[in-house]
Structure 1
Amino acid sequence: MHFEAFRSSLAEAAPPVGQPPLLAALWHAAKGNWDTAHGIAQDDGSAEGAWVHAHLHRVEGDESNAGYWYQRAGKPHCRLSLEEEWAELAQALLHGAPL
């Protein structure tokens, strides 16, 4: 799936079928379903899961907790806007880009 198609799917009632759970987490986050997104990210022990988890704590406004998860992801604490980081995350996950 291409990024624009993924972003367009936010107009739908459910995330796109067949996408990895972390993309579903980002989809739910963009729809304002923080608890659902957080539950998905929390169940993923990968570096990518930690990055999504960090982003979600930024959305929540908990920068300290976000910092812990950025460290777990091996990434610096993000200073982009939440929207820019969401797009970066989605594109990395859609394209299987390394962290």
Structure 2
Amino acid sequence: MTYDQFISSLSQSQPPKELPVLLKALWYDANANWEAAHDIAQSSEGTKTYDRLHAYLHRVEGDTWNAGYWYRRAGADVFKGSLKEEWQFLVESLL
């Protein structure tokens, strides 16, 4: 799947079945279902890619302290760009 195909899928009522789970989380986030995205992030705590997603989601929530905790757990620097830029970065890195 390309980035443009992923973006096109956002208009569907459900994420594409073939989407990897972390991309499903970002699909849910883009469709205003933070809770479903967060559930996925929590499902494999201790896995760096899940912890990195978890950091982003807490940034979306506005909880910068908690986001910082998850960035550290993921071994990642705190993202300095906008939430939109971080979402795009994550999607592109997972495709």
| TM class by smaller structure | over 0.9
Provide TM-score, normalisation by structure 1.
0.91
State the alpha-carbon separation in 1 of the partners of residues 9 and 64 from structure 2: 28
1:19, distance to aligned residue in structure 2 (A): 1.3
> In the alignment, which residue of structure 1 is the partner of 2:53?
52
Identity %: 50
| Amino acid in structure 2 at the alignment position of 1:34 | W
Structure 2: gaps (5+ residues):
none
| Amino acid in structure 2 at the alignment position of 1:37 | A
Q: Spell out, residue by residue over 1:26-84, the C-alpha distance to the aligned partner (whole angstroms, 9 max, x if none).
A: 00001110111000111023211011100000000000000010011111111110010
1:22, distance to aligned residue in structure 2 (A): 0.7
Regions of 4+ moved over 6 Å: none
Aligned residues: 94
**How much is the aligned-residue C-alpha RMSD, in angstroms?**
0.8
Structure 1: gaps (5+ residues):
95-99
Provide TM-score, normalisation by structure 2.
0.95
Matched, 1:61 2:56: no
Summarize the alignment of residues 1-99 of structure 1 with structure 2, pairs less than 5 Å apart: 1-45=1-45, 46-94=47-95
